[in-house]
């Protein structure tokens, strides 16, 4: 059982949580025992079950504690299975949560949701403005993960979360793939899940960078121009990826831009391959900027931003128009910042009694 705090009333409880550093700086829903109990039921697991330890303070990540963070974030019980899957993904050793929390770089788990859970546990937005404000599931699921990293993992700015500046996506960063508008198989299917499965794919990223591209159906070079524009942003010379030559890159393609590439015969893997090949800078250019970080060698050889096409996640999302997005990453840690996918078990939840005071 998690520790209990006492407060005179809801307002006092909220102030106490702020004072103890348990919030992200914004008001939270006070995690009363009955609210947390209902959220834990929606997770379909025993509240005392430990999912693992979360760094850097190696906090015991029990289902009950994750449920408390989901309540604080404003989640509905419907969102709980996605929160649970995202937390489990972050706890995977390959995610390097401890190192990610401690780094001076600005990085946060970006949660991408696929499969029927997009509706069953949401709706989780994937179209116009999906990474912005206005979507409760997106906002609260990503925020629940952050609150878990604060309260269970112990990430406190300037003490254990050493990001020099951080970024706004550290409050929350979650969207669904727009599978219906995508010309390709869903991301989770490309990563080995069945179409009827639901999954989160979580990857530590910087904030998203907009990429403008105006297509032209009459211009046969349009697909190449689009790929070059995306690749140039993936390999922007200020990024860790451009220097370290590793990490993950996420490319969020709007429906117009996926259409340009699909019409040219590209499948999802083909897009990733083309981007990997083009996301590079001349070694001499990178050495001139940061000589201590780039080994000496043939100055004209391309210094690639990624080790493999598999490190570039191509995701269909956003509204129809000129803008797609590239999301660079960290590229450090023992496992070099891979994406981690985790099944969402959204058919395991217990019936959640309707609470007398709501969520």
Partner 1 sequence: MRDGVNLARRGVPAVALVSSEFWAQGDFIARSVGMPDVPRVCFEHPVAGAGVETMRRVALAIRDEIVSALRGKAS
Tell me which residues touch partner 1 (CB under 8 A).
128, 214-218, 222, 256, 260, 319-322
Residue 355 CA neighbour count, 13 Å, CB half: 17
Q: Which is nearer to partner 1, 250 or 317 (CB)?
A: 317
What is the separation, in whole angstroms, between the first and last Cα of the chain? 21
Backbone dihedral angles phi then psi of residue 295, each to the nearest 5 degrees: -65, 150
- Give me the least distance between CB of 227 and partner 1, in Å please: 15
Q: Which is nearer to partner 1, 263 or 288 (CB)?
A: 263
Decide if 79 contacts 140 (C-beta within 8 A): yes
Backbone dihedral angles phi then psi of residue 223, each to the nearest 5 degrees: -60, -40
Q: Which is nearer to partner 1, 55 or 127 (CB)?
A: 127
Q: Which is nearer to partner 1, 210 or 308 (CB)?
A: 210
Q: Which is nearer to partner 1, 49 or 212 (CB)?
A: 212
- Name the nearest CA neighbour of 95 among 355, 340, 358, 344: 340
What gap in Å lies between CA 251 and CA 254, rounded to an integer? Answer: 10
Residue 193 DSSP SS3:
coil
Q: Which is nearer to partner 1, 15 or 219 (CB)?
A: 219
User: Which residue spans within the chain are E strands per DSSP?
Assistant: 50-54, 59-62, 108-114, 174-176, 199-205, 209-212, 249-253, 280-282, 302-304, 312-316, 323-327, 340-343
Can you read off the two tokens belonging to residue 203? 């990857």
Can you read off the two tokens belonging to residue 220? 């046969």
- Give me the least distance between CB of 174 and partner 1, in Å please: 23
- Give me the least distance between CB of 184 and partner 1, in Å please: 19
Can you read off the two tokens belonging to residue 327? 């999301």
- Give me the least distance between CB of 230 and partner 1, in Å please: 15
What gap in Å lies between CA 109 and CA 296, rounded to an integer? Answer: 33
Q: Which is nearer to partner 1, 260 or 349 (CB)?
A: 260
- Give me the least distance between CB of 23 and partner 1, in Å please: 34
Please compute Rg for the chain using Cα positions.
21
- Residue linked to tokens 């990001």: 163
- Give me the least distance between CB of 216 and partner 1, in Å please: 5
Q: Enter the DSSP assignment of 245.
A: S
Q: Which is nearer to partner 1, 3 or 217 (CB)?
A: 217
- Give me the least distance between CB of 186 and partner 1, in Å please: 23
- Give me the least distance between CB of 208 and partner 1, in Å please: 21
């Amino acid at each position: 059982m998690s520790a209990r705090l006492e407060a005179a009333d809801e307002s006092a409880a909220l102030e106490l949580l702020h004072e103890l550093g348990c919030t992200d700086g914004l008001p939270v829903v006070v995690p009363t025992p009955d609210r947390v109990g209902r959220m834990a039921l929606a997770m379909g697991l025993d509240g005392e079950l430990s999912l693992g330890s979360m760094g850097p303070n190696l906090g015991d990540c029990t289902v009950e504690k994750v449920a408390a963070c989901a309540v604080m974030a404003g989640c509905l019980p419907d969102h709980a299975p996605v929160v649970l899957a995202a937390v489990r993904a972050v706890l995977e050793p390959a995610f390097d949560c401890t190192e990610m929390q401690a780094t001076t770089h600005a990085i946060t788990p970006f949660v991408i949701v696929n499969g029927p859970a997009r509706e069953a546990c949401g709706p989780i937005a994937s179209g116009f403005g999906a990474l912005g404000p206005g979507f409760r599931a997106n906002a609260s699921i990503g925020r629940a993960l952050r609150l878990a990293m604060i309260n269970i993992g112990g990430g406190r700015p300037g003490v254990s979360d050493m990001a020099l500046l951080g970024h706004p996506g550290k409050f929350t960063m979650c969207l669904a793939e727009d599978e219906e508008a995508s010309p390709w198989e869903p991301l989770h299917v490309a990563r080995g899940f069945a179409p009827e499965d639901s999954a989160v794919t979580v990857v530590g990223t910087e904030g998203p960078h907009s990429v403008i591209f105006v297509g032209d159906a009459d211009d046969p070079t349009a697909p190449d121009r689009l790929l070059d524009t995306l690749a140039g942003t993936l390999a922007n010379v200020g990024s860790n990826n451009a220097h370290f030559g590793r990490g993950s890159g996420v490319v969020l393609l709007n429906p117009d831009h996926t259409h340009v590439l699909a019409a040219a015969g590209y499948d999802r893997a083909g897009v990733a391959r083309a981007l990997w090949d083009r996301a590079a800078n001349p070694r001499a250019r990178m050495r001139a900027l940061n000589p201590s970080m780039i080994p000496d060698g043939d100055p004209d050889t391309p210094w690639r931003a990624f080790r493999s096409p598999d490190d570039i996640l191509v995701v269909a999302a956003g509204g129809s128009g000129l803008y797609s997005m590239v999301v660079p990453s960290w590229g450090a840690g023992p496992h070099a910042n891979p994406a981690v996918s985790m099944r969402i078990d959204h058919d395991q939840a217990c019936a959640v009694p309707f609470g007398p005071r709501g969520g």
